[in-house]
Amino acid sequence: MSPMQVAVLQTIVSGALLGTLFGTIALGVTVKWGLLGIADFFHVSLTLFGAYVTYSLVSVAGLHPLATLLVTVPSFFLLGMALQWIFVRLEVKLFTSLLVTFGLFVVAESVITLLWSADTLTLRPVLPEWLTAPVALPWPLQQVRVLPPDLLALVAAIVLIGTTTWALRATRLGRGLHAMHQDPGIAEVFGVRLTRTAVLVAGFAAGTAAVAGMVVALKMPLSPHLPLHWLGVVVVSSLLGGLGRPLGALIAAVFLMIVQNLWALFYSPSWAPVIAFSFLLLYLVLQPLLTGRGLRSLGGAA
Amino acid sequence: MSLLRCEGVTKYFGGLRALDGVDLVVDPGEIVGLVGPNGSGKTTLMNAISGTFGINAGRVEFDGTDVTGMRPHQRAHLGIARTFQIPKPLPSLSVIDNVALAYTFGRDQVPMGRARQLAGDLLAELELAGKALAPVAHLNLHERKLLGIARALGLEPRLLLLDEVLAGLNPTEVDLGLAMITAVRDRGVAVIYIEHNVKAVTSISDRLYVLNRGTNLVDGNPRDVVADERVVAAYLGDAHADPA
C-alpha cells in the first residue's frame, strides 16, 4: 500500500471509531427527543461530566477505569430519573425542554470549570499501557493503528445501541414507551404508567452518558468547553438517523465523522465541522420533498 | 354491592357546567345504557369514570374503592376499560399488538409472548383473526370499532365503558355489535353503553340512564324510560311531549 492509501484508510478507521463514540452520546439524545419529546442538550454536558467524574475516580481514588462504571452508571441513572421527574412535574414540552436543557448546558460548563478548573486534564499518564499503546488491526488492515479507547468506544456503542434497539422492540418498557409516544392519553387508559416510563427511560439515557463519559476520559484530554464542539455532531446525527432510532444515529455519526476526517485530511481541518451542518441542511431541504411529510418529523419519530 | 357508584359527579370546563351532580350506579354483570341529547354530558361522565380528567366535585367509587383521585392507569389496573367515540388504535403497531398492549399493561400484566397469544384468541373470537397481523391503517370503521372493543377487553375488565361503538355502522353490523355486547355481559363484565341509537340501546340494556344538560333526567327500566314524557321533551322539545 502506498503511504497515501494508508493515510486514507487510517483516517476512515479513526473517523468511524470516533463516530461510534458520538453515536453512543447521540443514543440518549435521540431516544429522549424522539420518544419522550425532550430535546436534551444537557445530555452532552452530562457525558463530559461523566468523563470528569471518571477522571477523578481513576486519578484520585485510584479506581480501575472500567470499575468506575459501577459508581457512575447508577448515580447518573438516578440523576437522569430525578431530572425527568422534575420535567414531568413542570410539564416540560419539546420547545421548553430545548430552552431548559440549553440553560443547563451553559450552567454545566461553569460548574465543571468551578469543580475541575478550566485547565486541560488528561488521564493518559496514569493509564496502564494496554489502554494507551496503539494496536495494529488484523489483515488486511495491518498497517492501520487504533488506540484501545477507540475500540472501547466501538464496544460501548455496539452493546448500548444493540441493547436499546432490542429493548425498544421487545420489552414492556419499550412497548409502553412507543405507546406513550404515539398517544399518551390512550397509553394511560390501557394501563401504561406514563411518569414511571418516562423517568426510567431518562434514567437509562443518563446511564449511557456515564458510559460514554468513561470512554471520553480514556480517549481525550478533558476541558470544560468540549460539549460545545460535540453538540453539532450529536444533534445532526440524531436528526439524520431519524429521531428515536439509535441505530440510525450511530450510522449517521459514523458516516459524518468519516467524511469530516477525510475532509480534514485533504483540506483545512478548521472547516470540517461545516460538513455535518451541510448534511443537516441538505437533509432538511430534501427530506420534505422526498417523504412529503414536511418538517413535522422534527417533533419525533413516526 | 354495586360495582360502580358515582355520586354528585360535577365537572366544569371553564365556565361551562358539563356535569352537575350526576349519580349513577352499575351492578356487576349488567348493561347500563346511557343516553341523552348532544352535549348532555355522556362522554364527559365516561371520562370522569375512566379518569381521563379529574372532577370538580363528587365521588367515583369502584368495587368499594374510592377512585376519584386515581390516574387512568390505576383505574385500568382495577378493571375499568373503555372505548373511544373515534377509535384511536396506535398506528405503529399491528392489530394484534394493539390488543396485546392492553394485556401487557392491564390488570394481570401478562408477559409479552403470552399477551400476544391471548390477543390472538380474542381476535379470533371477534372474527378479526384474519386481520391480526395487518397494520391498523388497513381496517375499516367497523373493524376499528371491533379493535377498540378487543383492546378494552384485553385489559380483562370488570367494567367496560362503550362510547358509541355502533355509530356509523350499517344495520347488519349494528346487530352483530349488539350481540357481541350481550356476549361480553354474559362473561360477567358490566357494561356502560353510550348510544345515540335509542332503539339499539333499549333492546339490550338492563337499565337506562338519561342525562340532560349535565344532570340526571330519568333512569330505570328501558321501556318505561323511553316512554317518559320528560325524555321525549328533552329529545324533541316540549311541544312533542304534550299529550294533547
Domains observed in chain A: 3-133+146-299 (1.10.3470)
**pLDDT tens track for A187-245:** 999 999 999 999 999 999 999 999 999 999 999 999 999 999 999 999 999 999 989 99
Q: How far apart are CA A156 and CA A153, in angstroms?
A: 5
Q: How far apart are CA B8 and CA B215, in angstroms?
A: 9
Task: Specify the range with the lowest mean pLDDT, choosing from A72-86, A165-179, A273-287, B12-26.
Answer: A273-287
- Give me the pLDDT at residue A291, please: 65
Portion 178-217 of A in contact with B at CB < 8 A: 178-179, 182-183, 185-194
pLDDT at A145 over 70: yes
Is-contact B175 B187, C-beta < 8 A? no
- Model confidence band, residue A140 (pLDDT cutoffs 50, 70, 90): confident
- Give me the pLDDT at residue B125, please: 87
- Give me the pLDDT at residue B244, please: 44
- Give me the pLDDT at residue B224, please: 85
User: How many contacts (CB atoms, under 8 Å) link A and B?
Assistant: 67
| Average pLDDT value for chain A | 91
Q: Is A169 on the interface with B (CB under 8 A)?
A: no
- Give me the pLDDT at residue B238, please: 66
Q: How far apart are CA B7 and CA A154, in angstroms?
A: 61
SS3 label, residue B21: strand
- Give me the pLDDT at residue A138, please: 87
| Secondary structure letter of residue A34 according to DSSP | I
**B104 contacts in chain A (CB < 8 Å):** 172, 175-176, 191
Report, as an integer, the average pLDDT of A76-83: 98
- Give me the pLDDT at residue A146, please: 93
Distances in Å between the alpha carbon of B166 and those of B156, B180, B189, B207? 21, 11, 19, 19
Count CB atoms within 10 A of the CB of residue A170: 12
What is the residue type of A49? F
Chain A interface, mutation test: which of B71, B73, B83, most A Cβ atoms within 10 Å?
B73
pLDDT-flagged residues of chain B (< 70):
238-244
**B51 contacts in chain A (CB < 8 Å):** 189
**B151 contacts in chain A (CB < 8 Å):** 190
Q: Is A166 on the interface with B (CB under 8 A)?
A: no
- Give me the pLDDT at residue B5, please: 95
| ipTM computed for the complex | 0.83
Report, as an integer, the average pLDDT of A57-78: 95
SS3 label, residue A151: helix
User: Phi and psi at residue B5, in whole multiples of 5°?
Assistant: -135, 115
Collect all residues with Cβ–Cβ distance below 8 Å to B59 and sequence separation of at least 6: B5, B6, B7, B8, B9, B66, B68
**pLDDT tens track for B201-232:** 888 999 999 999 888 888 888 888 888 888 88
The pairs formed by A94-98 with CB atoms below 8 angstroms and a separation of 24 or more are: A94/A33, A94/A37, A94/A38, A94/A39, A94/A299, A94/A300, A97/A37, A97/A38, A97/A39, A97/A40, A98/A39, A98/A41
- Give me the pLDDT at residue A302, please: 39
- Give me the pLDDT at residue B92, please: 86
Closest to B55 in 3D by CA, of B43, B66, B68, B46: B68
What is the residue type of A144? V
CB-based contact B76 A191, cutoff 8 Å: yes
Domains of chain B plus CATH, in order, are 1-79+157-244 (3.40.50.300), 89-156 (no CATH)
- Give me the pLDDT at residue A284, please: 82
**pLDDT tens track for A245-270:** 999 999 999 999 999 999 988 888 88
- Model confidence band, residue A301 (pLDDT cutoffs 50, 70, 90): very low
